[in-house]
Structure 1
Amino acid sequence: MDKLKRIANKKNKLGFYQQHMLNPMNLKNNLSEFIYLFLTISIFIICTSDCLIGQEKIVESKDTSNVVQEIKDYSEKDNFFSKILKSIIVIDDEQQSGITLPDPDKKIIKKFTGKIIRKINIEILDVFGASVNNPKDTVRSWLQDVGNTLHINTKEWLIKNKLIFFEGQIFIPFYILESERIIRESPYIYDVRIIPKPIENTVDSVDIMVYVQDIWSLNGSASYSPGNKTGRVSIDDINFLGYGNRFYGGLNFDRKLTQGWDWDGRYTFDNIARTFLSGNIYYASDVYSEQYGVSVGRDFFSQIISWAGGLEQRWQNTRYPEILNTSGLIETVRFNQQDYWLGYAFNLRQIDSSEENKNAFNISGRITRNVYSQKPRKDTLNLFQDNTFYLGRIGYSNRKYHQDHYIFGLGKTEDIPLVHMITFLYGYEVGSNSSRPYYGLKTGYSFHNYPLGYFYGGFQIGAFRSNQKWLNLTYILEVMYFSNLNVVGKWKWRHYIGSRYSYRYDPIRPHDILNINNEGGIRGFSDNYLKGAKKLVLNYEVDIFAPFQLLGFKLAFITFADLGLISSNNNTLFTSKLYQGYGIGFRIKNEHLIFPAFQFMFGFYPNTSQEDGKKFNAFHQNVTYYHFNKSKVSIPTIVTIE
């Protein structure tokens, strides 16, 4: 036994594999605005959190519970319409058949610490029907049976290659929980559960059971516009033949194209040779551009790894309609780009292999080289010069995850990152006409408080320095708050509050570029003439999750209120017009399918910048408005406004 532990300990120790020149007055004004905004936003969130949420409590509501129960009771009757209703509607909390597995919480898992992992068993569940908590459920509709028959399951060895523990190793609880998160992060996996199982008549060993459920990975689309006679057909499989690789292909039809059609495609390799490296081969072409390239790399997907990095080679040909030569023809720009980066993570103290082995400090470097083989004849701003950009990063990041539901999804398990991080950036751009250094700072802090919810605060600032001027000066202050989940009967809801102050200016190109359109600030709002150098937006949303599903599609009702201020660099932000947006809508999605969530919204905008501006707008979104994973340690980048 001691010999086995020494061997296992050895295995554990091996590890895994482009603003304005700042005069003193401008600087003073900007800093005053910044400090005022920070204090105001912080006080607002603290003062409103209590009246919005409170604890994650369950309140019994007879009215809503009775309605749901009446629907369920009617579906059980012996008539034609009841049978139809029962086949398409499922009440979320109804008891399923089969054996429900006990919850392997951290306390239970820790009981197996120090034992030797004897055997690892993998079971891939059908896409529809069973679940990782109820793997033996056999109750399915005929439609689910058809879907399961057509779907190609993920290969068992592929899942085993994503585990960060091996047979013959000592059981470490953190490795079990981290393996679950890593597998669940795969785009083709719906959920995963890893359960240690004691062995009869053996006290020093343990078996591991891994239950994994795929999602339906195949997607496609087709569209045609009779007016301009254009169309597109595409197919996308994120788990091609069950190997975890992604295949995407599309055809574009357009009379403006030379041969009348063009194509784009991509193939992505997942976890190459169990190194967690991913590779890409891609090609894309349309009326104005063509690009193709290859890439390979991995980020710091877990804090137990020490090395990360990647490389990419890209070629691009772009035709710019706004750049005309002396003959009045559209100019073509051709260039190729090489991008390389390497990072190393480490800890300053020795950690015993039985603890959570986290590498909190990281240092990374990146080299990006652009070489132009064809440039516009007139380039007075030197936008298209050959250049090499060196960027270095050193920082601290302590990251853990909180498991939850109904945050960005509609019920599936979600791993919410809670991060304390600070990163310092220094870069140097060497161009054929000029060179300049870059300085940057990124910080982020997020945490979960049980009575209140999730909190995030972040600050970023970065700029180039040339001829005593700060160029491309960008800074961002952001705070977010997500409440805990509230429950009344079988209905659930959650509140979301977010605010962001953004500033960007460049004396060489002093035109305003920021806007408050759609995801830039006010949802459904659109005014391409309203731009500025600084903006402040405040967003509020409440999502109400319905307790039923239709053919596996779950529903959430949405109410939102957005406020925005925007001004040029020479004006004070708080004297500008307050733009507003209020609306309602719904989100629907089957989380067992690759198809994105469909979100339809109806908004009211009481004031616009133009007299003929739209007061009402119906629109849809395919992306979640809020993002919480803002501190992932990956390839070094300069500060940009999304």
Structure 2
Amino acid sequence: MFLGLRISILVLILALAGLLASAHPATPVAGPDRHTPERFTPDSARIRNSKARARNKRLYDSIESKTSRRAVPRMLYYLLFVKPVLDTTENGQFLDETRALMPFAGKTISGIEISRQEPFDENGNWLERTGNKLHMITREQVIRRDLLFEPGDEFDPQTIVRTKQLIRSRDYVSDIDIDVRPDSLDTTCVNLVIRTRDAWTITADGALHSEGRTMVALSDANILGTGNKLKFITNFNRQDFSYGGNMVEYEIPNVLGSFYTAAFNAGRSFYSSTLDLGIRKEFIRPTDYEIGLTYNDIKDKRYMIEQDTSLLVKERNLDAWGGYSHFLRRINASIYITGRYNYNRVSRRPEVGPRYNPALHDQDALLVGLGLYRENFYTANMIYGFGSREYLAAGFKAEAVAGYSWGEFSDDAYLGLSFEAGGFCSLGYVMGGATLGSYIEPGNGMWQRSAVDIDLRWFSNLFLLRRSRIRQFLAFNYTQGWNRWEGSDESIRFTRMNGLQALNEYAIGTNRMILNTETVLFSPYQPLGFRIAFFGFADFGLLGYSPNIFKNEFYTSFGLGVRLRNERLVFNTIQIRLGIAFGKNGPVDSEYVRLSNYTRVEPYRYRPTRPEIVEFE
């Protein structure tokens, strides 16, 4: 089993090495037959698909026309048929949209027209029509404020694609398209027609916790069509219905078109309380700036991993950061510099000492980052979503972080290095990254609380199985710490992000290696507009304190499940999962059945953020 694990890791490393040896991501080409991975669709195939869609449309239009004359057939039609969801990505291809836009590069944008659509088809069933009536469509100025261009600007294909990615990332937009139309009166100008379709943004949520604690929430990600997000949470004890407190969250994603995001969270939940204020602007263009300021005052239970218990902690944190990037055309990449100041005070906490519970020490930290990055976007589908257009980043980021911290018991320097890269190759999409960081004692130069983290991820091209499509995913993570202290955050465990899906066993250490595999089958059937994906998984993990990773405890888990998703709805994907976990000596504590609101993993980004201490979790 260990041999198979090593072979899988070797395959990932070789694939990543092949990717990094290329200056630009390879463009997938079409396979020769239906048994090869599906990539770019040839023109002839697109013509055949277009004719088939036209025949199908005529058939279903005929059925709708004939059943609309009488009440009972009409009712049966609306029960059995729904309007098809447009597959905008030609059956899972990876598409570089900038290529199609290159003939317009350098022309002047003379006009911009906005066309907005409701979440559901206006001629759909009664549920869809009712949803449209209850929904307040996004205001035109909200779409315009996210545009990275305006009339009079020079047409740049990369800027158009970045704009589409930005708007598609908003919770209140389910899809966007930008049509480029040559100006009939001036051949040096073009007109843009921007079409957006809203997402249904009103949602309810709930959770059942131990000791009778219950949470119920109601939210709207598009208040009055402004794009602002409001969430109201109430808490009570389901055993005696005693009041547990309320929480309010409010976010403005683009304040007055400045690309600043403002957020406010406040309230309490039983023994917890939160006050969280912040405003930030991220890097968007290759030459740009970022800035941020957040303040939070939080009281909550924190999990103490070595004690396997949660204890109440109250802390205040002030974080301020900024940075600037400049695009270097000669190397087609941006150089950047960032800086950050962090102030943290813990007023209620468990016992601390010079080398005990360092995560709960009072400290001030100053960090500076310097690096180089490139990021371009490609269009795809059936990866993290279920058929809607997705924007995947290809590029790299190399960064060095240095800083100094003034702690409650000691002062230390910090040094960190990181590199990550990803893109498309003939095998699919490959991404890899490595981060190394350590505190350094100024007096003797000793490295303390050091950590290294390596991530490799890959997913295949789409494979056809009759009308269904299959994609294979692999993920590898290796995390090791040395010269760690004792207490909170000084050991690691299996987590939701880096762990085994069905494992519920308590295990900790300072050395962890994980291989996750998942096969996803996307069904062609869409009952009531819901897309269906079946998946099976096999996970393998090693965790312990031995420096030799293969001498640590071994765990594995297997299972299968189903995910349901309607891309027009803001609700998270519904997931039902069955699984079982094993250790060296047989079955261990497992999460046999899990029903959850599965939150899809967001695509990787390579743009810089504020300087960070390497995570050990």
Q: 1:232 aligns with which of 202, 215, 225?
A: 215
- 3-state secondary structure, aligned to 1:87: helix
Q: Quote the residue 2:3 is aligned against.
A: none
1:366 matched to 2:346? The reply is no
Q: Quote the residue 1:479 is aligned against.
A: 456
Shift of 1:433: 2.6
1:547 matched to 2:524? The reply is yes
Q: 1:169 aligns with which of 133, 153, 164?
A: 153
1:110 matched to 2:84? The reply is no
Q: Quote the residue 1:346 is aligned against.
A: 326
Identity of aligned residues (%): 23
Does the C-alpha gap of structure 1 residues 236 and 453 become closer, same or farther in structure 2, counting only changes over 3 Å? same
Distance 1:40 1:350 in 2: 33
Q: Deviations over 1:364-398 (max 9, x none)?
A: 00000123456667656374443211111111111
Q: Deviations over 1:12-33 (max 9, x none)?
A: xxxxxxxxxxxxxxxxxxxxxx
Shift of 1:499: 1.0
Q: Quote the residue 2:25 is aligned against.
A: none
Shift of 1:185: 1.6
- 3-state secondary structure, aligned to 1:174: helix
The structure that has the greater radius of gyration is 1
Q: 2:291 aligns with which of 289, 301, 309?
A: 309
Q: Quote the residue 2:493 is aligned against.
A: 515
Contact 2:379 2:390 in 1 (8 A): yes
Contact 1:184 1:192 in 2 (8 A): yes
Structure-1-length-normalised TM-score:
0.78
The amino acid of 1:522's aligned partner reads L
Distance 2:120 2:600 in 1: 28
Q: Quote the residue 1:584 is aligned against.
A: 560
- 3-state secondary structure, aligned to 1:285: strand
Does the C-alpha gap of structure 1 residues 523 and 115 become closer, same or farther in structure 2, counting only changes over 3 Å? same
Distance 1:567 1:206 in 2: 61
Does the C-alpha gap of structure 1 residues 90 and 547 become closer, same or farther in structure 2, counting only changes over 3 Å? farther
Shift of 1:475: 0.8
Contact 1:239 1:245 in 2 (8 A): yes
Q: Quote the residue 2:172 is aligned against.
A: 188
Q: Quote the residue 1:122 is aligned against.
A: 114
Gapped regions of structure 1 (runs ≥ 5):
1-34, 60-64, 97-102, 130-137, 323-329, 352-357
Shift of 1:626: 5.3
Shift of 1:94: 9.0
Does the C-alpha gap of structure 1 residues 90 and 556 become closer, same or farther in structure 2, counting only changes over 3 Å? farther
Answer with 632-641 or 107-116: which moved more: 107-116
Q: 2:514 aligns with which of 520, 537, 542?
A: 537
Shift of 1:362: 0.9
Contact 1:495 1:541 in 2 (8 A): yes
Answer with 624-633 or 467-476: which moved more: 624-633
Does the C-alpha gap of structure 1 residues 104 and 198 become closer, same or farther in structure 2, counting only changes over 3 Å? farther
Q: 1:391 aligns with which of 339, 347, 367?
A: 367
Contact 1:38 1:477 in 2 (8 A): no
Q: Quote the residue 2:13 is aligned against.
A: 42
Answer with 189-198 or 341-350: which moved more: 341-350
Distance 1:282 1:375 in 2: 23
Does the C-alpha gap of structure 1 residues 333 and 522 become closer, same or farther in structure 2, counting only changes over 3 Å? closer
Q: 1:146 aligns with which of 127, 130, 148?
A: 130
Q: Quote the residue 1:282 is aligned against.
A: 265
- 3-state secondary structure, aligned to 2:568: coil
Contact 1:336 1:372 in 2 (8 A): yes
Distance 2:302 2:518 in 1: 39
Shift of 1:317: 3.5
Shift of 1:481: 1.1
Q: 2:576 aligns with which of 588, 600, 604?
A: 600
Does the C-alpha gap of structure 1 residues 523 and 217 become closer, same or farther in structure 2, counting only changes over 3 Å? same
Shift of 1:452: 1.8
Distance 1:171 1:220 in 2: 42
The amino acid of 1:509's aligned partner reads E
1:407 matched to 2:390? The reply is no
- 3-state secondary structure, aligned to 1:241: helix
- 3-state secondary structure, aligned to 1:347: strand
Distance 1:164 1:94 in 2: 26
Q: 1:498 aligns with which of 466, 475, 482?
A: 475
Distance 1:277 1:114 in 2: 29
Answer with 196-205 or 453-462: which moved more: 196-205
Does the C-alpha gap of structure 1 residues 45 and 495 become closer, same or farther in structure 2, counting only changes over 3 Å? farther
The amino acid of 2:169's aligned partner reads E
Contact 1:257 1:287 in 2 (8 A): no
Distance 1:542 1:377 in 2: 46
Report the count of equivalent residues: 565
- 3-state secondary structure, aligned to 1:407: coil
Distance 1:36 1:245 in 2: 48
- 3-state secondary structure, aligned to 1:296: strand
Contact 2:503 2:580 in 1 (8 A): no
Q: Quote the residue 2:546 is aligned against.
A: 569
- 3-state secondary structure, aligned to 1:111: helix
RMSD value, Cα: 3.8
Shift of 1:114: 3.5
Contact 1:382 1:433 in 2 (8 A): no
Contact 1:53 1:483 in 2 (8 A): no
Q: Quote the residue 1:327 is aligned against.
A: none
Q: Deviations over 1:529-548 (max 9, x none)?
A: x2221111111111111111
- 3-state secondary structure, aligned to 2:257: coil
Contact 1:563 1:581 in 2 (8 A): yes
Q: 1:619 aligns with which of 589, 594, 612?
A: 594
Shift of 1:552: 1.3
Contact 2:471 2:519 in 1 (8 A): yes
1:84 matched to 2:59? The reply is no
Q: Quote the residue 1:454 is aligned against.
A: 429
Distance 1:289 1:56 in 2: 50
Shift of 1:625: 6.8
The amino acid of 1:234's aligned partner reads A
Distance 1:337 1:455 in 2: 37
Distance 1:285 1:39 in 2: 49
1:272 matched to 2:246? The reply is no
- Counterparts of 1:2-21 in structure 2, within 5 Å, are none
Does the C-alpha gap of structure 1 residues 505 and 285 become closer, same or farther in structure 2, counting only changes over 3 Å? farther
- 3-state secondary structure, aligned to 1:520: coil
Does the C-alpha gap of structure 1 residues 36 and 640 become closer, same or farther in structure 2, counting only changes over 3 Å? farther
Contact 1:518 1:526 in 2 (8 A): no
Gapped regions of structure 2 (runs ≥ 5):
1-5, 19-30, 46-51, 89-94, 305-309
